[in-house]
Chain A
Amino acid sequence: MAGFKLRRSLLYVPGNMPSMLQNIPIFNCDSVIIDLEDAVPLSEKDAARHLVRHFLLNYTDRNKELLVRINPLDTKWGYEDLKVVLPAMPDGIRLPKADTPEIVERLDTLLTEFEEELEVEIGRFGILPSLESALGVINAVGIANSSERIFALAFGAEDYTASMEIERSRGGEELFNARTRVLWAAKAKGIQAVDTIFADVSDMEGLRNETELAKRLGYTGKCLVNPRQIEVVHDVFAPKQHEVEYALQVIEAIQRARQLGTGVIALGGKMVDAPVVKRAARVLRTAYAHGMVDTLIDEEAIHGAQ
């Protein structure tokens, strides 16, 4: 699968704190989201974007995906954030309050303009839109289709519950419909889905439960507020050894079936056909990214020769 990128853990790092920024190289998360929005007081917006720019310019030996959360484009800071930070070449922009497809299209146009000006490949800067209001959730499908730069949809529960005038509970029942709708939009478009943050850094059990729920629903990753949360999230998203073994058996079984001229076969008393093979292939790709299997499964093993 071309361009498959593991995004289990996306860690927020405040943009105006050198002590946190300069630890980015040693965090073992898949992606970092450097925050110019909520973590930065209004009086320090200019300082934070200068700091992030200089940090990125000096961080040449990059070892993880670097995203920057800018301020919303309808504020006076959003455009300036892009102007100052993009020349330092982050991988993408996390767009807060992506309530409508039009807002994302606007960012897409701006990114194209900056790419032309900076003379880099068009499409170099990705977009991770935050669906974090009732309106954003309703518009999820349109947003997912609003730009080819979008590699995932992110659900933001803190602002979402605020927009719904409800409290966020530990069990997260109130988030179920929104989480699902964001997922449908992402899956229909064939992009990743990133779950919301879990704010209580001391509650590792709560974090694990919520991450397990998100994974069960179909989310491929989670946003984090503290590096201590990385390990739990990676543990939950790692395929279990028995899942990997079963997936390998499924691929072997379907290849045997194809030699016999059929597309369906029994494995341990259970039917194996195309959808089962697809799920197994997904497990094996993730296992490959975790270093649990040596080879990346090819398309022919999944679909058979034509």
Chain B
Amino acid sequence: MKIVKKAQAGTMQSSDLMVFLEPAETLNVTIESTVLKQFGALIRAKVDEMLQKHGIDAGEVRITDRGALDYAIEARLETAIMRGTEG
């Protein structure tokens, strides 16, 4: 599935994250986080898992994390993907 339009989800509050999606030819993920050193790899794994689950193989994915737990990462990505893939 492709990102067909710009979309975002989430907030900049603590324990939350912002997800930005844009159409692109290839898949490119960048993550910015207040806890990147400790949890960067885990966040990346969760993001990859969700993209795979929704079959996203192309798009610009930008995450700004404020210390979100897994459930919030799952939810915000799901919202952004639904917003970015519907016609």
CA distance A51 to B72 in the complex (A): 6
Instruction: Tally chain A residues at the interface, Cβ within 8 Å.
Output: 14
Q: Name the residue among B14, B72, B76, B83 with the largest chain A CB count within 10 angstroms.
A: B72
CA distance A17 to B75 in the complex (A): 12
CA distance A141 to B76 in the complex (A): 42
> Which residue on chain A has the smallest CB distance to residue B79?
A47
**Bitwise interface map of A from 14 to 27 toward B, beta carbon under 8 Å scored 1, else 0:** 00111100100000
Does more than half of chain A's interface fall in helix, strand or loop, or is it mixed?
Answer: helix
Q: Closest CB of chain B to A248's CB: distance in Å?
A: 46
* Given contact pairs A22-B15, A46-B83, A54 touches B72 in the complex (Cβ within 8 A): yes
> Which residue on chain A has the smallest CB distance to residue B82?
A46
- Specify which chain A residues have a CB less than 8 angstroms from the CB of B10 in the assembled complex: 47
- Contact of B79 with A55 in the complex, beta carbons under 8 Å: no
CA distance A16 to B10 in the complex (A): 9
- Specify which chain B residues have a CB less than 8 angstroms from the CB of A51 in the assembled complex: 71-72, 75-76, 79
- Which residues of A58-107 are within 8 A (CB) of B? 58
Measured as residues with beta carbon below 8 angstroms from the partner, the interface class of chain B is 10 to 19
Q: Closest CB of chain B to A238's CB: distance in Å?
A: 33
Q: Closest CB of chain B to A41's CB: distance in Å?
A: 11
- Contact of B13 with A17 in the complex, beta carbons under 8 Å: yes
- Which residues of B1-53 are within 8 A (CB) of A? 9-11, 13-16
> Which residue on chain A has the smallest CB distance to residue B16?
A18
- Contact of B76 with A47 in the complex, beta carbons under 8 Å: yes
Q: Closest CB of chain B to A162's CB: distance in Å?
A: 28
- Specify which chain A residues have a CB less than 8 angstroms from the CB of B70 in the assembled complex: 58
- Contact of A55 with B15 in the complex, beta carbons under 8 Å: no
> Which residue on chain B has the smallest CB distance to residue A58?
B71
Q: Closest CB of chain A to B14's CB: distance in Å?
A: 6
- Which residues of B67-87 are within 8 A (CB) of A? 68-72, 74-76, 78-79, 82-83
- Specify which chain A residues have a CB less than 8 angstroms from the CB of B11 in the assembled complex: 16-17
Q: Closest CB of chain B to A58's CB: distance in Å?
A: 4
- The one of B9, B69, B76, B83 in contact with A22, judged by C-beta atoms closer than 8 angstroms, is B69
CA distance A28 to B49 in the complex (A): 34
> Which residue on chain A has the smallest CB distance to residue B10?
A47
- The one of A18, A47, A50, A58 in contact with B68, judged by C-beta atoms closer than 8 angstroms, is A18
Q: Closest CB of chain A to B81's CB: distance in Å?
A: 10
- Contact of B71 with A57 in the complex, beta carbons under 8 Å: yes
User: Interface residues, chain B, CB within 8 Å of chain A?
Assistant: 9-11, 13-16, 68-72, 74-76, 78-79, 82-83
Between A and B, 10 residue pairs with Cβ closer than 8 Å are A16-B11, A17-B13, A18-B15, A18-B71, A47-B9, A50-B75, A50-B76, A50-B78, A50-B79, A54-B78
Known: A19-B15, A55-B71, A55-B72. 9 other contacts (CB 8 A): A18-B68, A18-B71, A19-B14, A46-B83, A47-B10, A47-B79, A51-B72, A54-B75, A57-B71
